[in-house]
């Protein structure tokens, strides 16, 4: 196995994007939970779904390896 600087940087950027997505998803979930009473009830599941999708994409980006 050789050290590939380009692939290493791409892996780092992908993982960083994964952490950002995870943080945005967790923040969206937090704010949706704490403002659910003032939101229209029909829109709350959409926010939760968006947050879950962001967190899943972030978790996937953290564990993926670019070759």
The DSSP line for the chain is ----HHHHHHHHHHHHHHHHHHHHHHHHHHHHHHTTTTS-TTTHHHHHHHHHHHHHHHHHHHH----
Global pTM reads 0.82
| Residues in the chain where the model's pLDDT stays below 50 | 1
Q: What's the pLDDT score for residue 2? A: 55
CA distance 66 to 54: 20
Give the other-Cβ count within 10 Å of 10's Cβ. Answer: 14
CA distance 29 to 50: 9
Q: pLDDT at position 1, please?
A: 47
């Amino acid at each position: 196995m050789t050290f590939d600087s380009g692939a290493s940087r791409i892996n780092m950027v992908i993982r960083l994007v994964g952490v950002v997505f995870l943080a945005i998803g967790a923040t969206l979930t937090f704010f949706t939970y704490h403002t659910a009473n003032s939101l229209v009830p029909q829109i709350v599941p959409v926010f939760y779904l968006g947050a879950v999708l962001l967190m899943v994409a972030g978790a996937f980006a953290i564990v993926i390896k670019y070759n």
